[in-house]
Every structure is written in structure tokens, then in C-alpha cells.
Structure 1
Amino acid sequence: MKNVMLIIKEQFDNVGIIRRVSKYEEKATYQSHYLGLMWQFLNPLIQIGIYYLVFGLGVNGGRNVEGVPFIVWMLIGIIVWFFVNSSLLGGSNSIYNKVGMVSKMKFPVSVLPSINMASNIVSYWWMMAILIVVMFIFGVYPTIYWLQYIYYFICMIAFLFAMGILDSTITILVRDYHIMLQSILRLLFYVSGPIWDIETRSFPDWLVRIFQINPVYYFIDGFRDTFLSREWFWEKPTLALIFWGIISIILILGTHLHMKFRARFVDFI
């Protein structure tokens, strides 16, 4: 737990650096493009259109899901998935790509996954704004359930932070890990529920229960509970305990490996 507290303290001590560097990363990524930062939401918007055509109109036949239009149901999950996917992939490579620079500067390498997450979150907020507009168009309005959005947002950030520390460290030690992670995320996309309702598919009950243990499924389904006013997070105490248990294990393991090998990162590269 000592390593966990130290890594978390480093994030809070370097909030200013995280914010400034993330803004620089955003501008540097799109500075040579004519549309610039607009690609932060244009790119996911194009992907959403493709997924809706394939899964909404093709596979689902344009039918409603849980009494709401498929586009609303899908948007809630797919927007979260885009943020998770980009943060996990970028976080995995964050230390490897920048460790040479950081070794010459006075801030800890543990903030690099957080910088990557912060740079991705701008696109996430743009897409959330689009989601709210779409929900209003289709008659989905705020209720008291929307207050628990804060809880599930914290769950998502905690997961990405824990995975960022672990993935970025393993990528330094085993370079093939980043390629393997890309394949894992492709599989995770189909078992985390962003584009279809796993519980209504013809999966065995035992397999559905395994899918529900997936941390990404937990907060994607939680965001749907929130925006579609289905149920409160405390009504699923078992899944909440499992989720935070998994996050704790990932964070303890990730911070332990990070602190053990941090002084030798440059040597491994």
C-alpha cells in the first residue's frame, strides 16, 4: 500500500504538469491537420456512424433496446469505450515513448499515463455533449439517477489509472505486451457491452455472469443505469465489491512493479 499511496501522491503533486503537457500533446497531435482539434470528435463521430449502420440498422434492425432508440443505447456505451480504448493503448506506450525526455526533467514517470488520459478526455467530453443532445431529441431527460454519473466516472478513471500504471510498466519490460494488448482490446470490445446487450443474447447464464465481472462492462452498464434511469449502483453490491477488488489488485501489482523497475526504465529501453 505504501507504493500505491506514493504513486497517487505523485499525481496530485503534479496536477499542473499533467494539465499543461496534456494540452501540448493535443495541439501537437493535430497541428499539421487542416481541421486541427476538430478531429478529436469528428473521428469518433465517423466511427459511431459506421457502428450504427452495421449493428443498429443491420444486426439489430433498428429496433429499440430497453424501450429507447438503439442509437441512444449504443452511444452511452460506445463513447465510454472510445475513451477507454484510446486511454489504455496510449497509456501502455506512454512511458516507453517519453522516458528519455522525462529522465532529463524533474517530474515522475508515473504521471505519463495520466497525461495520456487527460489528453483523451477532451474528446470524451465533446462526445458526451453530443450524447446529451441526442438523448433530448429522443425524449430521454435528466432524472435523479443522473447524479450517480459521478460514481461511475470515478470507477472509469480508477480503472484507467490502475491499468495505465500496470500496462506502461509491463510494456517497458516486455515490448510485445503492447501488441498483445491491442488484440485483447479487440476481444474486450465485444464482451463489454458497448454495442449489444449481453444479457439478452443467447449466452449461457454462467457466461453472462463472467462477462459481468469485467470492469469495463461494470461501468458501461452503470452509465446506462444512470442515463436510462434503471437502478442505483448500491443495488448491485456484489458487482461493486468485485469491481473495486479487481481495481485494488491491479493497482497494488502495477505500483509494485513500477517502483521496483522505475530506476532502470532507460536501461530496459
Structure 2
Amino acid sequence: MNDVKLVLQEQLNNLGIIRRISKYEEKATYQSHYLGLVWQFLNPAIQIGIYYLVFGLGVNQGKQVDGVPFIIWMLIGIIAWFFISSSILGCSNSIYRQVGMVSKMKFPVSILPSVNITSNFVSYRAMMALLIVAMFFGGVTPSLYWLQYFYYFLCMIAFLFAFGILNATITVLVRDYHIMLQSILRLLFYVSGPIWNMKTMAQFQGKDTIVRILELNPIYYIIDGFRDSFLSKAWFWEKGSQTLLFWLIVGFLLIVGSHLHMKFRARFVDFI
């Protein structure tokens, strides 16, 4: 637990550094592009359009899901997925990519996953604004359930940091891990709920055990929670066992990730 305390303390003590580095990375990534930071919004918007054509109009044939147009239902899940998947991959490679900074100065290496998560907020905020506009025109009205969005947002950040510090450390130790993680995320895209409603899919009808196993996925818990909030379906405490399991997984990832990070970070440059 001392490792967890030290890692979390480094995040709190370096909030200013995290913000400054994340802003620098945002500008550096797109500085050679004519549209610059617009690509942080344009790129996911294009992908959303493709997914809607394929799954919304093609597979789902424009039918409503949970009483709302498919595009709104999909937006709630896929915006969260874009942020989660890009943060997982970015965090995984964050320490390895900054080997120059790690080797040349005394630097709190544990903040690098947080820097990556923070730099993804620009795109996330823009897409959330798009979602609010879409819900307004789609007839989704605000309710008291919307308040628990902040709870699920906290869940998302906690999971991403805990998983990120673990992934970043393992990627330094085993370089192939990052490539394997990319493949795992491709699979998770289809079983985490951003485009499929697994509870109503014909393939899962009568297969409650399989659905319950898939619902143990922390990413599914977060995406389904956002839909519960915006579509006014349920409170998070009504899913007691899922909520407890989610925080147990986050705690386990944070403890293991912090321990490995503190154990090996003095030798990161040697491994790289």
C-alpha cells in the first residue's frame, strides 16, 4: 500500500506539470497538420459516421435502442470507448516513448500515464458537446440520473490510471506487450458494448451466463453506466455486485501496477 500512496502522491504534487506537458503534447502532435487540433475532433467524428452507417443503418436498420435513436445510444458508448481505448494505448506507451526525458533528468515517471489521459480530454470534451446537442434534438431530456455521470466519469479515470500505470510498466519490461494490448482492445471493442446491445442481441437470447460474464468487463460497466445516466435507466447502487467487482478490479490493478512501477522504475533506462 505504500507504493500506491507514493504513486498517488506524485500525481497530486505534480498536477501543474501534468497539465503543461499534456498541452505541449497536444500542440506537438498536430503542429505539422494544416487543421491542427481540429483533427482531435474530426478523426473520431469520421469513425462515428462509418460505424453508424454500418451498424446503425446496416445491421440495426435504423431501429431505436432503449427508446432512443440508435445514433444517440451509440454516441454515448462510442465516445467513452474512444477515450478509453486511446488512453489505454497511450498510457501503455507513455514511459517507453519518453525514454529521453526519463534518462536525462530527475522526473516523476509515474505521471506520464496521467499526462496521456489529460491530453485526450480535448477530443473527449468536443465529442461530449456533440452528444449533448444530439440528445437535445433526439428528445432526450435531462433528469436527476444525469448527476451520476460524474460518478461514472470518476470510475473511468480511476480505471484508466490504475490500468495505465500497470501497462506502462509492463511495456517497458516486455515490449511485445503493447502490440498484444492492441489486439486485445480490438476484441474488447465488440464485447464492451459501444455498438452492440448484448442484452437484446438474438445471439445472446437465453444465454444469461455468457452475458453475465461479459458484464464483468470494467469497460462494459463504465459504458453501460453512462447509458444508465443519460437515458435515465438505473442508479449505480442498483448494480451492487457489479459496482463492488469493478472497484475490486481497479484496486487490484492499482496495487499491482504501483508495486511493479516502484520496483523497476530505477532501472527503466536499462530495460529500454
Q: TM-score, normalised by structure 1?
A: 0.99
Distance 2:141 2:102 in 1: 46
- Is the 8 Å Cα contact of residues 102 and 269 (structure 2) preserved in structure 1? no
Asked whether the equivalents of residues 14 and 107 of structure 1 are also in contact (C-alpha less than 8 Å), the reply is no
Q: Does 1:167 align with 2:167?
A: yes
How far 1:196 moved relative to its partner? 1.1
Q: Specify the alignment match of 1:258 in structure 2.
A: 261
Q: Which residue of 1 aligns with 2:24?
A: 24
**% identical equivalent positions:** 73
| Residue ranges of structure 1 left out of the alignment (5+ in a row) | none
Cα separation, 1, equivalents of 2:37 and 2:19 = 17
Counterparts of 1:156-235 in structure 2 under 5 Å? 156-201=156-201, 202-203=203-204, 204-235=207-238
Matched, 1:90 2:93: no
Are the equivalent residues in 1 in contact too, given 2:64–2:70 (CA < 8 A)? yes
Q: Is the 8 A contact 1:88 1:164 kept in 2?
A: yes
Partner of 1:105: 105
The structural deviation recorded for 1:265 is 0.1
**Which residue does 1:69 correspond to in 2?**
69
Gaps of 5+ in 2: none
Query: Is 2:252 aligned against 1:249?
Result: yes
Partner Cα separation in structure 1 for residue 248 and residue 92 of structure 2: 22
Aligned residues: 269
CA contact (8 A) 1:99 1:109 kept: no
What are the Cα deviations for residues 60-106 of structure 1, in whole angstroms up to 9, with x where unaligned?
00000011000000000000000001000010000001032133233
- What residue identity is the alignment partner of 2:76? I
CA distance in 1, matches of 2:242, 2:152: 13
Instruction: Quote the Cα distance in structure 2 between the aligned partners of 1:50 and 1:11.
Output: 37
Alignment partners' CA distance in 1, 2:83 and 2:159: 12
User: Deviations for 1:14-40, whole angstroms, at most 9, x for unmatched residues?
Assistant: 000000000000000011111101001
What is the alpha-carbon distance in structure 2 between the residues aligned to residue 106 and residue 262 of structure 1?
12
After TM superposition, the score normalised by the length of structure 2 is: 0.98
4+ aligned runs moved over 4 Å, structure 1: none
